[in-house]
Structure 1
Amino acid sequence: MKFKHYNQQQTVLLPYSFDDLIPEQHPVRVVDYVVESINIQPLLKAYSKEGNPGYHPKMLLKVMLYAYMTNVYSSRKIELALRENINFMWLTSMTIVDHNTINRFRSNKLKDSFKEIFKQVVLMLASEGLITLKQIYTDGTKIEAQAGRYTFVWGKSIKTNKAKMLTQLEDLWNYAQSIDNDDNPDPEPTQFKEINKEVIEQTVAKIDAKLSGNEKASSKSKAKLRYIKNNFVANLEKYEQQEAILAERNSYSKTDTEATFMRMKEDHMRNGQLKPAYNTQISTENQIIVHYTIHQNPTDTKTLKPHLENFEKTFGKETLQQLKEITADAGYGSEENYDYLQEKELTAYVKYNTFDKEQDKNYQKKNKPFSKENLYYNQEEDYYVCPMGQKMHKTHQSKRTTEAGHTQSLSHYQAKNCESCPLRGQCFKAKGNRSIERNHNLERHKQRTRELLLSETGIQKRKQRTADVEPVFAQLKHNNGFRRFSLKGLEKVELEFGLMALGHNLRKKIAA
């Protein structure tokens, strides 16, 4: 049989060049071109002029971008690629970097300058005509943290445990008072409204004085006192430390204290369990990630304002003023967000929570004409009219603060005579005359939003949103397998997602 010549020991007159082995249109060349085109001066500030020379940050940046572009996220796997993958070898000119150096570069050196690098690449894509930065589509998804799935710390549990401590202390104090031989018992050392170190120490000292040497004191009460002495102060200090970590959140993970437990769509046990995660928000145009932020709050409503504020901080006021339109789903529809978007003069194609239901004819018929949304309102004289034609005049104004800290102004209206109304049973069930409350500012925003969303442009925007921002998450999570962060902590997680986002943008640049 005949075969082509094969000899592993065959020498060549001229050694092979890596450049000859890399195709001209290969993605690794795009990474090289982009990094060579941007200003890495902000990255150089992370390095000291003293000490031994380090690996060039430009080389390490190329390695990190190409790694995330090709779905290689582990520092050990990146090190292995530098030894075995010809594309990585071409980027580094055969320089081998160990995984610790790679991890330090990603976690420490890159963190302060990466947003600037990301911004430069986005502006480069804008200059090439791939995006305009005049409209964005915003959405969010939850990505699991690199933390133990069952290492819960809950804010409600801490409050419950502190309340139990207070109850146990009060019960033991009352018991000590009841068996005290003194005819003139001491007044209570505290009103037991709030537990703290001083309350514990003072109460324990007085209880100890009453129980010690008292023949009526049971061994069980003395055992409880010993337990309180040995554990309550330490437990209280632990709870206070946990509350400091929680801040305004309701939970965190012991193995990544900056991760919050959230309900995930991708549930490994398929029973709706909460898992430690981060809320990732992105704004896209033409499926290119224009901006990204990471949040500890699971509710999208509270993320839109800080997301856009960070956009302004990263790109500057001029770029934000250039932005004209934003499109998002009903998770972002709140009075606070509408006020903010109006202040920034952004045309908001942002649904409110009942918009989709209102488009259903069955929903429109239900509760009509008795629901307060369908009552006639006279704006000039400021009154509502009930289905029987009775005027509901304004009685008073009130203020309400939302969970996000936004103050709402509410107007209250009440009818004067509902006792003999034949429609009373269908209209409302409460006693007395029917009353309603209305947030006129929110209703104004909803009316404006309804007009925008039902317009020809609004319908097109709603269709485009599902084809613009949502496929990006599908690409990142399903096609690229990025379902869980590799790093811990909010700052490092944001950097890791930024690398993933920039890798995605470079893939879009290649496909354009």
Structure 2
Amino acid sequence: MASGKPTFKPYYQSQVMAIPPTLDELVAKGHPVRIVNDIVNRINIQGLLDAYHIKGTSSYHPQMLLKVLVYGYVSNVYSSRKLETACKENINLMWLSGMSYPDHNTINRFRGVRLKDALRSVFEEVVKLLAEEGLLSIEEVYTDGTKIEANANRYTFVWKKAIQTNKEKMKKALGEIWEYAQSIAKAEDNLPEPPDFTDISPKRVQDTVDTLNAVLAEKPHTSKEMKAKLKYVSREYPKKIAEYERKEAILGNRNSFSKTDTDATFMRMKEDHMQNGQLKAGYNVQISTSNQFIVNYTIHPNPTDTTTLQAHLEQHKASYGKTLETITADAGYGSEENYDLLEARNIEAYVKYGMFDKQQSEHYNTKQPFSADKLFYDPAQDCYICPMGQRMHYIGDGKRKTSTGFEQTSKRYQAKNCSGCPLNGACHKSQGNRIIEVNENLKRHKAIAYGLLNSEKGIEKRKQRCYDVEPVFGNIKQNHGFRRFMLRGKEKVAIEWGLLAIAQNIRKKAA
């Protein structure tokens, strides 16, 4: 058995060095912090410099603050307080900041105020720099969206449907009081005609309440119950209607918003940390990628991807001065409106529609054999042939508008006699003779999309979409732990996501 004392390496905590090492020597070569430093030094940040005023006290240099923020997002440090601490303790950030020590208020103000109008140009400069190096394409992209939870308190719902229901209750209550006033008023009172409550406003409610008070206040036979009801209506209804109008103005075309972040909409999240299936206030983040680099991003309050494409394409053109050449996306974008939009802009669209994946199955034709898209069409007679051989003739057009105001037109065809048909009930479930609707324009777009998606290039695009755009969201959420925005309001959320996008591109370049 060995004997003696253990041997340790020398440990001299107070050792004085003749030539102390510099911070640059302590930062590893090829470290991501050096890539952040190199990229920010190379891009044009004039838009950021323009955000500062000439007058006032001297500020920390915006280039340094931008480097600190970007590297914070690269290394999963999103909190301004943690960045303040890291600038004093983390060798990489001490080197990056040049031993400057901005406090959390300075960092937060820079992120929320100074970057508001400048971050988009910074992001675009980074993308252009990467494109010049041949790492990505600005013309050919893959597009997808994800929902990220907003920094909003729970149970702060404001629902459009609830407001409409409450307004209907108010209309009903006012109508009942008016009917009561008419029943006890004498002919000489000259009670005016009942007001139109189709669209109530604070002024209309106030005028109605004033009239009812004038009529019923002097009537000795007015019941105590009605007097109490009128008193409550007089006190509460005008201010409630004003509140409802304010909330409806915030809602716009949305169905809900959160009181603590009025730009956020309640939507169902895939990443449900509470595991209760509740709707959460959040934002729909849209990105376009190339080689897993983010080329474009937009923030939307609406939960569906379908209605986001136009604004997303317009942002791409505004950023780079030209439209896309090709776009690849999943069935969430395959609407008639989007196909029209892409066709008008001469963008080659590898965009699926709702039934595309099912049509690839060899069992597709055996399922739902009586659906409208499987019926034979006779172009000479402009009619469809039902499963029993009966002609279905054109009976007119049907029109409807989508939530965005886009008008869709469908041709309607009806069978002459479905009574006694042995397939009645299997062919269709409706009462009477079967009617089908055929959207010729959408049908044409689907045929074009089907051909593109099943071409050799289309198959390759479909495969690449799965490992180009989708892993970017997975990397940001799962690997880097960003599942909830820290800032509130759409403008600040856009800043936060812009920093994440820059960080993603730098991490990808470093890899």
Question: Conserved in 2, the CA contact under 8 Å of 1:349 and 1:453?
Answer: yes
Distance 1:425 1:19 in 2: 79
Distance 2:387 2:182 in 1: 64
Distance 1:430 1:30 in 2: 65
**Paired residue for 1:222?**
227
5 Å-filtered alignment, 1:132-281, equals: 132-182=137-187, 186-281=191-286
RMSD after superposition: 1.8
Q: Secondary structure of the equivalent of 1:303?
A: helix
Distance 1:429 1:79 in 2: 66
Question: Conserved in 1, the CA contact under 8 Å of 2:384 and 2:392?
Answer: yes
Deviation at 1:365, TM superposition (A): 1.1
**Paired residue for 2:51?**
46
**Paired residue for 1:286?**
291
Question: Conserved in 1, the CA contact under 8 Å of 2:178 and 2:194?
Answer: no
Deviation at 1:497, TM superposition (A): 0.5
Distance 1:23 1:419 in 2: 82
Worse-matched range after superposition: 481-490 or 132-141: 132-141
Deviation at 1:380, TM superposition (A): 4.8
Could you state the TM-score of these two structures normalised by the residue count of structure 1?
0.95
For 2:357, give the aligned amino acid.
Answer: D
**Paired residue for 2:468?**
468
5 Å-filtered alignment, 1:425-464, equals: 425-464=425-464
Q: Secondary structure of the equivalent of 2:462?
A: helix
**Paired residue for 2:387?**
387
User: Deviations 1:167-223 (Å, cap 9, x if unpaired)?
Assistant: 111111112222335576624341332322233223222322332243322211111
Deviation at 1:398, TM superposition (A): 3.5
Worse-matched range after superposition: 459-468 or 40-49: 459-468
Question: Conserved in 2, the CA contact under 8 Å of 1:395 and 1:413?
Answer: yes
Distance 1:361 1:183 in 2: 81
For 2:175, give the aligned amino acid.
Answer: E
Deviation at 1:436, TM superposition (A): 1.6
Distance 1:283 1:408 in 2: 28
Q: Secondary structure of the equivalent of 1:427?
A: coil
Deviation at 1:115, TM superposition (A): 1.3
**Paired residue for 1:348?**
349
User: Deviations 1:68-109 (Å, cap 9, x if unpaired)?
Assistant: 000000100100000100000001111110111111111111
**Paired residue for 2:31?**
26
For 1:357, give the aligned amino acid.
Answer: K
**Paired residue for 2:93?**
88
**Paired residue for 1:487?**
487
- Pick the aligned partner of 2:318 from 307, 313, 319: 313
Deviation at 1:431, TM superposition (A): 4.4
**Paired residue for 1:396?**
396
Total equivalences in the alignment: 506
Question: Conserved in 2, the CA contact under 8 Å of 1:295 and 1:303?
Answer: yes
Question: Conserved in 2, the CA contact under 8 Å of 1:142 and 1:264?
Answer: yes
Distance 2:197 2:98 in 1: 71
Distance 2:34 2:425 in 1: 74
Deviation at 1:153, TM superposition (A): 0.6
Q: Secondary structure of the equivalent of 2:426?
A: helix
Question: Conserved in 2, the CA contact under 8 Å of 1:189 and 1:202?
Answer: no
C-alpha spacing 1:85/1:381, structure 2 compared with 1 (3 Å): same
**Paired residue for 1:37?**
42
**Paired residue for 1:99?**
104
Distance 2:429 2:63 in 1: 71
Deviation at 1:355, TM superposition (A): 1.5
**Paired residue for 1:16?**
21
Worse-matched range after superposition: 388-397 or 109-118: 388-397
**Paired residue for 2:336?**
335
For 1:489, give the aligned amino acid.
Answer: G
Distance 2:84 2:189 in 1: 78
Deviation at 1:420, TM superposition (A): 5.5
Deviation at 1:383, TM superposition (A): 2.3
Question: Conserved in 1, the CA contact under 8 Å of 2:413 and 2:435?
Answer: yes
Distance 2:120 2:126 in 1: 10
User: Deviations 1:322-355 (Å, cap 9, x if unpaired)?
Assistant: x432111111110011111112222211111111
Q: Secondary structure of the equivalent of 2:266?
A: strand
Question: Conserved in 1, the CA contact under 8 Å of 2:294 and 2:501?
Answer: yes
Distance 2:244 2:210 in 1: 22
Deviation at 1:16, TM superposition (A): 2.4
**Paired residue for 1:496?**
496
Distance 2:243 2:202 in 1: 12
For 1:397, give the aligned amino acid.
Answer: D
Worse-matched range after superposition: 374-383 or 412-421: 412-421
User: Deviations 1:238-284 (Å, cap 9, x if unpaired)?
Assistant: 11111111111111110011111111111233232111100000111
Q: Secondary structure of the equivalent of 2:388?
A: coil
For 1:359, give the aligned amino acid.
Answer: Q
Q: Secondary structure of the equivalent of 1:405?
A: coil
- Pick the aligned partner of 2:115 from 106, 110, 114: 110
Distance 1:479 1:157 in 2: 39
Question: Conserved in 2, the CA contact under 8 Å of 1:139 and 1:469?
Answer: yes
Distance 2:278 2:80 in 1: 30
For 1:347, give the aligned amino acid.
Answer: E
User: Deviations 1:409-452 (Å, cap 9, x if unpaired)?
Assistant: 21122233444644444333444433221100000111111122
Deviation at 1:366, TM superposition (A): 2.2
Question: Conserved in 1, the CA contact under 8 Å of 2:328 and 2:351?
Answer: yes
Q: Secondary structure of the equivalent of 1:241?
A: helix
Worse-matched range after superposition: 175-184 or 152-161: 175-184
C-alpha spacing 1:431/1:87, structure 2 compared with 1 (3 Å): closer
Distance 1:241 1:165 in 2: 17
Deviation at 1:461, TM superposition (A): 1.9
For 1:426, give the aligned amino acid.
Answer: A
Question: Conserved in 1, the CA contact under 8 Å of 2:48 and 2:118?
Answer: yes
User: Deviations 1:15-68 (Å, cap 9, x if unpaired)?
Assistant: 321011111111111111101111111111001111111111111111111000
Deviation at 1:111, TM superposition (A): 1.7
Worse-matched range after superposition: 2-11 or 442-451: 2-11
Question: Conserved in 2, the CA contact under 8 Å of 1:279 and 1:294?
Answer: yes
Structure 2 residue 370 is matched with structure 1 residue 365: no
Question: Conserved in 1, the CA contact under 8 Å of 2:152 and 2:281?
Answer: yes
